[in-house]
Amino acid sequence: MIASGLGKDAEGEDVEELQKTLKDLGYYQGEISGKYDFMTIQAVFEFQKEFSVINDDTDYGAGYFGSKTKKALEKAVAQKESELHFGQILAKMDFKKETMIVALEKKEKRVQSKTKIFAKSQNKQIISMTLKKGDKGEVVKTLQKKLKEEGYLNIPQETDFFGKMTEEALIKYQIDKGIIPSKDNSGAGIV
């Protein structure tokens, strides 16, 4: 790794390596010259600010590659390498990831569709909109009435608010009817 203790007018392989590293991280825009010039000082300074090594250009060590800056740079390089590795894994899984997303979207549509069938089969009233916790309106009363009739919701009177009790009752209904396998499933508690 790069030796610390580099500053204005320093030259050599360590400065060259520092410039390359800062360029890879997006801080250095100049040529890789091996000379600790103004552009290198600026790049180190910008890096130091972003990684909270210093606060502004009047702080002691601003633009100087000392031990604190070296530690921060090593951490930044390790983080970037980790992100690149994770990105490569995701790239290899890209096909699988897209397939999983499509499958989840299809599953959610099936859950919503089955829940609509429930709404259609009860009292010939249709709930034709998506409902979830926090929603309000007459259609929530209709849902609560149906859940009460089926024995899933135990409230004295329907309200126009889709709260926790309504959500829990709907999830129980969805699980019992095989619409969803568990309460953690996408679409759980959503009409």
- Structure tokens given for 116: 């609509």
| Residue 104: pLDDT over 70 | no
Residue 36 burial by CB count (10 A; 0-12/13-18/19+): exposed, middle or buried?
buried
Quick one: pLDDT band at residue 188, thresholds 50, 70, 90?
confident
Q: Is the pLDDT of residue 121 over 70?
A: no
Query: For 123-147, what is each residue's pLDDT tens digit?
Result: 445 555 678 888 888 888 888 888 8
- DSSP lists the bridge partners of residue 161 as 136
Determine what percent of the chain is predicted with pLDDT higher than 90.
24
Task: Give pLDDT, residue 134.
Answer: 86
Point out the least confidently predicted range of 67-71, 77-81, 87-91: 87-91
pLDDT band, very low/low/confident/very high, at 116 (cuts 50, 70, 90): low
Taking residues 48-66, report their average pLDDT: 89
**CATH class label, 13-83:** mainly alpha
Domain ranges within the chain, ordered by starting residue: 13-83, 94-176
Q: How many CB atoms lie within 10 A of CB 80?
A: 14
Rounded to whole angstroms, the Cα distance separating 84 from 161 reads 47
- Which tens digits make up the pLDDT trace of 172-182? 998 888 888 88
Check whether 85 has a pLDDT greater than 50: yes
> What pLDDT was estimated at residue 118?
52
Please report, rounded to a whole number, the percentage of residues in the chain having pLDDT higher than 70: 75
C-alpha distances (whole Å) from 162 to each of 73, 88, 142, 169 are 51, 43, 11, 11
Sign of CA dihedral 123, 125, 131, 136: negative
Q: What is the pLDDT of residue 12?
A: 93
Q: What is the mean predicted confidence (pLDDT) over 12-37?
A: 92
What predicted TM-score, i.e. pTM, was given to this entire model?
Answer: 0.46
Q: What is the per-residue pLDDT for 70?
A: 92
